[in-house]
A and B are shown apart, each in its own frame.
Chain A
Amino acid sequence: MNTISTEAVQGRPAAGLGAGTSPMGTERSRLLGNLGSWGLLSLGGIIMLVPFLWMVLMSFKSLDEVYTFPPQILPNQFLFSNYAEVWDQVPVARFFSNSATVAISATLGVLLTSSLGGYSFARIDYPGRNTIFLLYLSTMMIPFAVIMIPLFVQMRMLGWINSLYALIVPGLFSAWGTFLMRQFMMGIPKELEEAAEIDGCGHFRIYSTIIMPLCKPVLATLAIFTFMGFWNDFLWPLIVISSRDLKTLPLGLAGFQQKVALNTPWHLVMALAVVSVLPILLIFIIGQKYYVRGIVTSGLKGAA
């Protein structure tokens, strides 16, 4: 009560008169505000974290402990053997290596094609460039769900159904990535390469020795985004992959949960979920800076 009224009284005149009287009041209300938001944020933070926590706890429980009401928060005994049991029931290592193969090769491919394309759009002047660039922009607007059937038909024509090629090859090219690289490369001063050009460097030399080293931050952003996108993708693998040994983690996880619909071993499902979530959370925490920067630039680019 007291604080609120002082704030209301002091707010107006004090601000105009000078800093002399206001800091006390504003400082106090700032602290109160901080306390209030801290409370709200903690509450929300708990809601954000509880599902993760519950997943981890469930992965260590026995099936009986999972099916109890009221729920038992901690397992009587942490059953690390659950993880071994999942390994016995599904080829976790295969899922893992499939996911890694797809995500890593697609990421490398995207980095290469996008940086080359971005260089072409940003730093070489030639007829037809702007028209092609518009074409790129327009393909970015086609949602995946809209072309998934034709893309499936195409994979079938190529004989890539039930093969990792169907997951990797269409993923090697990214209009969005090209756009991101172009935007970044546009910002690199022209003088840098003019000097190199006088020295007789061709475009490829300029690209590989001058521009690419400067692009490290944006390459990191693009790499993290692409990797995560492929690691998490579910719909496309669901369409083109059917044999168990070619499944990626999300597909294997979904299959494991649904296959045993009646008596789902939820504790084991959660163990597999932990295995599939852990690497991506680690990558995020390590590459946080670049990921956040990527989101922020893509957000502001759209906004500004």
Chain B
Amino acid sequence: MAASAPAFPQGPVASRGGMTGRRRRNLIAGYAFLIPNLLGVLAFSLFPIATTIYLTFHEWNLSDTPVFNGLQNFVLMAGDSLFWKTLGNTFYYTFVAVPVAVFLAFWLALLLDRKMRGVLSFRVIYFLPHVTLTVAASIIWAWIFQAEFGLINWALSKINVDGPYWLTDSRWAMISIIIMSNWKGIGYAMLIFLAGLQGIPPELLDAATVDGANGWRKLRHVKVPLLTPTIFFILTTSFIGAFQAFDQFMIMTNGGPAFATTPLVLYIYRNGFAYFKMGYATSMAAILFLCILAITLFQWSVARRWVYGFDMDN
């Protein structure tokens, strides 16, 4: 092979020499551009992931040396009723808040997807809560839900309803937080739906009109099918987000009453930073990750049954 090289005419050899020079330059430049970023990702993403794996097999109170305890963390977890309770809370919150938000956001986007006066201001108004600090929004809503002086119970008293003690009643606390979270999050989903709706080629809708489709049928047979990829995107990202919700629980109820609104993330936080059970907390975080992963994978696996064009992409 090496011997055959000189047999080639000069041109290709010269250009090949040029190529290697260029390749080397590209290699150096490629990594030089990437290095700062790559180091950061290695240090602050991959290293913590490695630490997570290490800590799940150890017991550690942060000051002494970690003690290897095999799968003891997971055995403890299985018998920890609060772990199950808080995991259940996380599921309850996620599977109620997300579908409601997606449904409402979808209708909102349909209403906003028309040419009329004030439509732009509406978009901004519905989006404002999304850019507000969650902490500030939680504080405002904590007062709105306040049982004796809050706005909601005042409004209810106007129609002769005795409002509940929202945030301190274990039957209502989670619902209150879901209401607040959807108030805050709906604008984001709405905006993405709106972009999806406006991406539908007008010819398709015109064709449907010519075929005699009314508003409902256009929605059912043109808009919804074409928006399924958008719905899929919003569902997957919202589920991932909802599983990690923390701020509003911490501020509005601090997890109470009687753990009724303690999501798993808050329980992990307490175990880590109040009880200093670093190994145990990390193990629960690993379970949280597996839950998120399982739900995401499940959504991907059923996507081709209902998401338009899902097969074609892959």
Taking Cβ atoms with an 8 Å cutoff, the residues of A that contact B are: 11-12, 15-16, 33-34, 37-38, 40-41, 44-45, 47-52, 54-55, 58, 66-71, 112-114, 116-117, 119-121, 124-127, 129, 132, 135-136, 139, 141-154, 156, 169-170, 172-173, 175, 178, 202-204, 207, 228, 231-232, 234-235, 238-239, 249-250, 253-254, 257-258, 266, 269-270, 273, 276-277, 280-281, 284-285, 288, 291-292, 295-296, 299-300, 302-304
In the docked arrangement, what's the CA distance between A154 and B25, Å? 35
Encode B231-244 as 1/0 by CB contact (under 8 A) with A: 01110110010011
Closest-CB distance, A92 to chain B (whole angstroms): 14
- Nearest chain B residue, comparing its CB with the CB of A99: B133
Supply 23 A–B pairs (Cβ within 8 Å), ascending by A: A15-B210, A37-B116, A38-B117, A45-B125, A47-B183, A113-B37, A120-B34, A124-B30, A141-B296, A145-B246, A148-B272, A150-B51, A152-B272, A154-B47, A156-B62, A175-B41, A202-B25, A203-B25, A253-B139, A276-B133, A280-B131, A281-B128, A299-B192
Does residue B162 face the partner (Cβ distance < 8 Å to A)? no
Quick check: which of B10-18, B71-79, B81-89, B140-148 contacts chain A, the rest being far away? Answer: B140-148
**CB contact between A55 and one of B140, B188, B196 (< 8 Å): that residue:** B140
Closest-CB distance, A83 to chain B (whole angstroms): 15
Taking Cβ atoms with an 8 Å cutoff, the residues of B that contact A are: 23, 25-27, 29-31, 33-34, 36-38, 40-41, 43-49, 51-52, 55, 62, 108, 111-112, 114, 116-118, 122, 124-129, 131-137, 139-141, 143-144, 148-151, 154, 157, 183, 187-188, 191-192, 195-196, 199, 209-210, 212, 214-215, 229-230, 232-234, 236-237, 240, 243-244, 246-247, 250-251, 254, 265, 268-269, 272-273, 278, 281-282, 285-286, 288-289, 292-293, 296, 313
Closest-CB distance, B77 to chain A (whole angstroms): 15
**CB contact between A38 and one of B31, B44, B118, B125 (< 8 Å): that residue:** B118
User: Is the contact region of chain B dominated by helix, strand, or loop, or is it mixed?
Assistant: helix
Asked whether, in the complex, the Cβ of A120 is within 8 Å of the Cβ of B230, the reply is no
Asked whether, in the complex, the Cβ of B55 is within 8 Å of the Cβ of A207, the reply is no
**CB contact between A117 and one of B37, B51, B131 (< 8 Å): that residue:** B37
Asked whether, in the complex, the Cβ of B33 is within 8 Å of the Cβ of A172, the reply is no
Asked whether, in the complex, the Cβ of A143 is within 8 Å of the Cβ of B243, the reply is yes
**CB contact between B122 and one of A45, A132, A253 (< 8 Å): that residue:** A45
Q: Which chain B residues border A50 with CB–CB below 8 Å?
A: 151
Closest-CB distance, B195 to chain A (whole angstroms): 4
In the docked arrangement, what's the CA distance between A186 and B272, Å? 42
Asked whether, in the complex, the Cβ of A303 is within 8 Å of the Cβ of B116, the reply is no
Asked whether, in the complex, the Cβ of A15 is within 8 Å of the Cβ of B209, the reply is yes
Known: A124-B29, A126-B26. 11 other contacts (CB 8 A): A12-B212, A41-B108, A48-B126, A52-B132, A142-B45, A145-B246, A146-B286, A235-B269, A253-B136, A273-B133, A281-B132
Asked whether, in the complex, the Cβ of A288 is within 8 Å of the Cβ of B124, the reply is yes
Closest-CB distance, A168 to chain B (whole angstroms): 12
Asked whether, in the complex, the Cβ of A16 is within 8 Å of the Cβ of B210, the reply is yes
Q: Which chain A residues border B29 with CB–CB below 8 Å?
A: 120, 124, 126, 202-204
Asked whether, in the complex, the Cβ of B131 is within 8 Å of the Cβ of A295, the reply is no
Closest-CB distance, B94 to chain A (whole angstroms): 13
Asked whether, in the complex, the Cβ of A203 is within 8 Å of the Cβ of B33, the reply is yes
Closest-CB distance, B51 to chain A (whole angstroms): 4
Q: Which chain B residues border A113 with CB–CB below 8 Å?
A: 36-37, 40
Q: Which chain B residues border A257 with CB–CB below 8 Å?
A: 139, 251
Asked whether, in the complex, the Cβ of A269 is within 8 Å of the Cβ of B139, the reply is yes
- Nearest chain B residue, comparing its CB with the CB of A235: B246
Q: Which chain B residues border A117 with CB–CB below 8 Å?
A: 33-34, 36-38
In the docked arrangement, what's the CA distance between A303 and B233, Å? 5
